[in-house]
Structure 1
Amino acid sequence: MTTTESDARTRAASGEQAAAHTAEATTPRRPRTWAIVSIALGLAAVVLVSVVFLPPLITGAVLLSLSAVFLLRRVLFTWPALLFLLAASIMFIPARRYALPIQLGFALEPYRVMIFVAIIALAVAFLVDRRRRWQPIAFGWPLGIFLATLLVSFIANGTRLVNAGLATTSLSAFLQLGVLLSVLFTVRQLLTSERLVLQFLMFLSWCAMIVGFFAIVERVTRINVFWMLSSFLPLVMLRDQGEAMRAGVNRAYGSAQHPIALAVMLCMILPILVYLAKYALWPRLEMNRRIFYGIGTVLVFGGIIAAISRTAVVVMGVMFLLALLFVPRVAFVLLAFAVPMVVLAALVVPAQVDSMLLSFLDVDTLIASQYTSAGMRGAGRLADLAPAMAEVARLPFFGQGFGSRIVVGDEANSFILDNQVLGILMESGALGVAGFAVFMLAPAVMLVVFALRTARERRHAALALAIGIAITGYSASLFFFDAFGFFQSFLMHLMLLAVGAWVLTATPRRASAATVGAGP
């Protein structure tokens, strides 16, 4: 046999092997027997449990949900899907109002379920996938300082808390805060590319537009669609519908726990809408983007008006002053559009606008309204100030212990403050307020410094500034409502912080810039 013939036979054999491998790769593999049996047993178990323990309507909803999950498994079981489902549960399902129909001794609320699912999924991914790397948080040190001050307060008050039977209550508050703060870490780990960050911000803004639109509908019709979710989702209602009035009309709740929380959440989206009007992935044409997000801004602003919240006016005022300081051209453009909207709102709903805006001009009446019902539940904020400061004077440095104040239920031992800063002062003392200030203000300062001095790309600087303005506005609201008790707005703040952490740690910097904010 010649060398040429040998080489030809070798090439032919190699070609046959390659063809066999290609055919094997392209031929769909049949599921293994054990996999089919496992799926069948799992479905049988779910059906059996649903039929035995759940009502027929909920059983049908569960089975339909499982069917949808199976059909959409290639879409749902992805990291972006997990991110968007977590955000959707926060934006659309009112906290402390719904829970899954599963008896566990505590309310299994949807947002908590999604948080735990995200934590578990990420933990498994870090264990089994060596390619996955921890994404730096950037704001770890402000958060660490805040938690350290709360822990010092707990230790300093340990004996008193145990003697008063409040140690378990305080530990539960730490656990609840930890669950909420985990959203910052989980969302940051899921944000792995600039395209995904933009998609996430677009999703949040679209959710806010929907919430704002239905808040307007609620204000007009007194029908809250978010209180009807149990009609077509496997959810049980924990509390009856609430009602709040101002200026003789009902205030919109939307998907939030309270009108103030709704208004604050929508206010935080406004800077993001301005940013997306220029840099969003869709619509592709810039003019179309401006029109689309301009309409979205009108819907969000309408939702804020429907909530009738003076706190929202404070938040928007603070954000406008920051915009005027750092981007005056944009601030004047926004003012030019805002004035006609306010005039139109004053013509359509004069009582609400008078309650929200014009009441600030009557300082004496405004102050008097904050002194109403002193010593009673729901008293004005200034009416609560004197008795709160009397408590602070007894324990000025370390407070009473974080989470030791109970303001609702039969075991209530304190009064509602509508002031998160004052609440921290009572529970953790001056030390806790200092840590709280670092946690709330340091990220905003880091983002603004990055935008003005460090960012190399203009779009990243604009995003950092938008988030910095949004979280500064949220910080201003902390003097006017109990932020930790209203989860939607607090979780929105944490999700925006996660985006801010991505900006600080994953975007290019100027060659001469120091690595400010790039720590873990």
Structure 2
Amino acid sequence: MTFTPLPPTRPFGGAGTPTPPRRQRLTPRQIAGGVFATVALTAIVLTSAVLLPPIATGTALLGLSLVVLLRRILFTWTALLFLLAGTIMFIPARLYALPIPLPFALEPYRLTIFIAVVALGFSFLTDRTRRWQPIAFGWPLGIFLATLLVSFIANGTRLVNEGLATTSLSGFFQLGILLSVFFSVRQLLTSERMVMTLLMLLTWSATIVAFFAIVERVFRTNVFLMLGNFLPLMVLREAGEATRAGVNRAYGSAQHPIALAVMLCMMIPIVIYLAKYAVWPRHPINRKIVYGIGTMIIFGGIVAAISRTAVVVMGVMFLVALILRPRIALLLVAFAVPVLILAMAVVPAQVDSMLLSFLDIDSLVASQYTSAGMTGAGRLADLEPAMREVVQFPFFGGGFGSRIVVGDEANGFILDNQVLGILMEAGALGVAGYAVFMLAPVVMLLVYAFRFARELRHASLAFALAISIAGYSSALFFFDAFGFFQSFLVHMMLLAVAAWVYTAAPRKASAEATLDIDAPARGATNAATARARVMRA
């Protein structure tokens, strides 16, 4: 038996005595965060106790306790991205507000946008490692906003005399809130992992919305109108109803069936992209099956909305894909045909109203000449009265945001045409700026996809985003895009992803860049390598 001698002891305080760890000093960021958290907690508790009823106060404090307990999960940029996208996708705008007594209705999407902006602003002020992410499309957006500002300045005196200056400024403020989603989401997309997380979140959120739209169409029950029974939300107004071909059209979580259909159409190219490049499911065959089912559900949601605008959007997307990537266009047809056949067998009257009505040109044109200037009016019927106003202010319009189409102070009629609305408010100059804002990203993405993309997955993502944005742009002639917030905000989030692709994805060297549609395929890596890189990002 052997014994291991003990090390010799040293007097206390000798050279070998371990020194106690020093207390780590708090950084300015930690101090500022603690002060902010204390002030915010105190304000929430006092506001709840003074202004809210006991039940609402208990609910607010319970929710606050859960937030504190789950702070390591909730206070992350990924959680903020989930909160923002989930609120936009699942809580109908203009229908719910938080039960907080304020001079205005605090809608959930406004609150989440405010949280995102404040969190990012706080991070930029306190985190020295955070850098501004390039937005790529700043110049098209700047041109558009400049044309609106010129319109406001040119009509400033008249707007003040008619008491519409405040209304116009409110329009600018609302547009700023919507556009801030683009900037906020772009700053959150700091890695390819975040990009794929957002795309998968939007895709499966759209799939869930489409599924419940089908349920709404079959059972005439909209589950999104029941959120007030489970969440602390206050109903602002009763939901509307729309019919076509003698049946109710599905609203889902959107403000109107057209907006629902347009949003779902925008997600189709993204779903097809994820069927090949998503990180889950890992097996390629399983992944294609899962996203194939999701695509068919989304098609079903579009059919449930019974929107001819959706047919136009899909037609434009198909045409662009057919010209530039015929294989993708054929894949789109492969998913659409089975759903269309099933829909024709189950709801033939709705399919006839939605799709086959385009074959009857006379009836289609006649339907667009009914009830000029009224809610639900034909779009062609609105052209003549609208153009009479345009002639009065052809270049600068009547002032952006000066038209009021609902309420006791209404001074205009609903157009169902965003381009015509901008022509009336901002004139020909505003329409030109809007065209630059909508079309420049499409051109830039296509050039990147076919000329500069180094990896096939990035070229494919840029192409899918270009198709989606082009489809949304075509819908602007058939609905009020600025008034239907869900579809507009989804467009902003996709535009933020497009900005990441254009500025952060690897590019070819200048000597390698060629304007060749097949170039990305020749220089591509295989799908397994691509997914591995995404997981390591």
Scaled by the length of structure 1, the TM-score of the pair is 0.91
* 1:4 corresponds to: none
Maintained 8 Å contact 1:454/1:513: no
- Letter aligned with residue 330 of structure 1: I
**Structure 2: tracts of 5 or more residues without a match:** 1-8, 25-29, 515-537
Q: How does 1:16-35 map to 2 (within 5 A)?
A: 16-17=17-18, 20-21=20-21
SS of 1:504's partner is helix
d(CA) in 2 for partners of 1:140, 1:514: 27
Query: Comparing 219-228 with 36-45, which one deviates more in the overlay?
Result: 36-45
CA-to-aligned-CA distance 1:352-411 (integer Å, 9 cap, x gap) = 111110010001000000001124333110000001011111111001000011000000
d(CA) in 1 for partners of 2:144, 2:40: 44
Q: How does 1:118-157 map to 2 (within 5 A)?
A: 118-157=116-155
**Do the aligned partners of residues 154 and 323 (structure 1) sit closer, same or farther apart at CA in structure 2, a change above 3 Å counting?**
same
**Do the aligned partners of residues 57 and 213 (structure 1) sit closer, same or farther apart at CA in structure 2, a change above 3 Å counting?**
farther
- Letter aligned with residue 481 of structure 1: F
**Do the aligned partners of residues 189 and 336 (structure 1) sit closer, same or farther apart at CA in structure 2, a change above 3 Å counting?**
same
d(CA) in 2 for partners of 1:270, 1:15: 68
SS of 2:454's partner is coil
- Please state how far the C-alpha of 1:70 moved relative to its aligned partner: 1.9
- Letter aligned with residue 95 of structure 1: A
d(CA) in 1 for partners of 2:448, 2:35: 55
**Do the aligned partners of residues 158 and 46 (structure 1) sit closer, same or farther apart at CA in structure 2, a change above 3 Å counting?**
closer
**Do the aligned partners of residues 153 and 514 (structure 1) sit closer, same or farther apart at CA in structure 2, a change above 3 Å counting?**
farther
d(CA) in 1 for partners of 2:486, 2:480: 12
d(CA) in 1 for partners of 2:296, 2:179: 31
d(CA) in 1 for partners of 2:35, 2:373: 64
The match for 2:237 among 236, 239, 260 is 239
- Letter aligned with residue 439 of structure 2: L
The match for 2:90 among 92, 96, 100 is 92
**Structure 1: tracts of 5 or more residues without a match:** 1-7, 26-31
Maintained 8 Å contact 1:61/1:232: no
CA-to-aligned-CA distance 1:42-84 (integer Å, 9 cap, x gap) = 7687556435432344334323322321221101001111111
* 1:319 corresponds to: 317
1:220 paired with 2:236, answer no
**Do the aligned partners of residues 53 and 513 (structure 1) sit closer, same or farther apart at CA in structure 2, a change above 3 Å counting?**
farther
d(CA) in 2 for partners of 1:297, 1:471: 18
Maintained 8 Å contact 1:61/1:233: no
d(CA) in 2 for partners of 1:304, 1:478: 17
Q: How does 1:264-279 map to 2 (within 5 A)?
A: 264-279=262-277
- Please state how far the C-alpha of 1:513 moved relative to its aligned partner: 6.5
* 1:361 corresponds to: 359
CA-to-aligned-CA distance 1:458-506 (integer Å, 9 cap, x gap) = 0000000000100000000000000000000000001000000000110
The match for 1:115 among 113, 116, 121 is 113
d(CA) in 2 for partners of 1:132, 1:73: 21
Q: How does 1:251-270 map to 2 (within 5 A)?
A: 251-270=249-268
**Do the aligned partners of residues 16 and 99 (structure 1) sit closer, same or farther apart at CA in structure 2, a change above 3 Å counting?**
farther
**Do the aligned partners of residues 438 and 354 (structure 1) sit closer, same or farther apart at CA in structure 2, a change above 3 Å counting?**
same
SS of 1:495's partner is helix
- Please state how far the C-alpha of 1:183 moved relative to its aligned partner: 0.6
Maintained 8 Å contact 2:292/2:335: no
d(CA) in 2 for partners of 1:399, 1:348: 47
* 2:168 corresponds to: 170
**Do the aligned partners of residues 37 and 360 (structure 1) sit closer, same or farther apart at CA in structure 2, a change above 3 Å counting?**
closer
d(CA) in 1 for partners of 2:58, 2:345: 48
**Do the aligned partners of residues 289 and 441 (structure 1) sit closer, same or farther apart at CA in structure 2, a change above 3 Å counting?**
same
d(CA) in 1 for partners of 2:374, 2:182: 36
Query: Comparing 464-473 with 222-231, which one deviates more in the overlay?
Result: 222-231
d(CA) in 2 for partners of 1:45, 1:154: 38
d(CA) in 2 for partners of 1:102, 1:81: 24
**Do the aligned partners of residues 455 and 97 (structure 1) sit closer, same or farther apart at CA in structure 2, a change above 3 Å counting?**
same
The match for 1:294 among 284, 292, 295 is 292
SS of 1:106's partner is coil
**Do the aligned partners of residues 43 and 385 (structure 1) sit closer, same or farther apart at CA in structure 2, a change above 3 Å counting?**
closer
Query: Comparing 57-66 with 433-442, which one deviates more in the overlay?
Result: 57-66
The match for 1:345 among 338, 343, 352 is 343
* 2:181 corresponds to: 183
- Please state how far the C-alpha of 1:187 moved relative to its aligned partner: 0.3
* 2:80 corresponds to: 82
Q: Percent sequence identity over matched residues?
A: 72
Maintained 8 Å contact 2:296/2:336: no
**Do the aligned partners of residues 266 and 413 (structure 1) sit closer, same or farther apart at CA in structure 2, a change above 3 Å counting?**
same
CA-to-aligned-CA distance 1:92-146 (integer Å, 9 cap, x gap) = 1111111111122011111111111111111111111111100000000000000
**Do the aligned partners of residues 259 and 457 (structure 1) sit closer, same or farther apart at CA in structure 2, a change above 3 Å counting?**
same
The match for 1:159 among 157, 160, 163 is 157
The match for 2:306 among 308, 323, 338 is 308
d(CA) in 2 for partners of 1:38, 1:453: 47
**Do the aligned partners of residues 16 and 296 (structure 1) sit closer, same or farther apart at CA in structure 2, a change above 3 Å counting?**
farther
1:53 paired with 2:12, answer no
- Letter aligned with residue 177 of structure 1: L
Scaled by the length of structure 2, the TM-score of the pair is 0.88
* 2:395 corresponds to: 397
Query: Comparing 170-179 with 41-50, which one deviates more in the overlay?
Result: 41-50
SS of 1:228's partner is helix
CA-to-aligned-CA distance 1:171-206 (integer Å, 9 cap, x gap) = 010011011101110000000000110011001101
d(CA) in 2 for partners of 1:375, 1:36: 55
Structure 1 vs Structure 2 CA RMSD:
2.5
d(CA) in 1 for partners of 2:243, 2:267: 25
CA-to-aligned-CA distance 1:12-51 (integer Å, 9 cap, x gap) = 9676437x449x89xxxxxx9xx99998997687556435
CA-to-aligned-CA distance 1:253-301 (integer Å, 9 cap, x gap) = 1111111001100110100000000111111111111111111111111
Q: How does 1:392-471 map to 2 (within 5 A)?
A: 392-471=390-469
Aligned residues: 498
d(CA) in 2 for partners of 1:353, 1:38: 55
- Please state how far the C-alpha of 1:335 moved relative to its aligned partner: 1.3
* 1:29 corresponds to: none
CA-to-aligned-CA distance 1:311-356 (integer Å, 9 cap, x gap) = 0010011111111112111211221332122111100111111111
Maintained 8 Å contact 2:296/2:335: no
d(CA) in 1 for partners of 2:273, 2:299: 16
* 1:374 corresponds to: 372
d(CA) in 2 for partners of 1:84, 1:137: 21
1:491 paired with 2:465, answer no
1:386 paired with 2:387, answer no
Query: Comparing 240-249 with 144-153, which one deviates more in the overlay?
Result: 240-249
SS of 2:18's partner is helix
**Do the aligned partners of residues 61 and 338 (structure 1) sit closer, same or farther apart at CA in structure 2, a change above 3 Å counting?**
same
Maintained 8 Å contact 2:465/2:494: yes
The match for 2:473 among 475, 479, 482 is 475
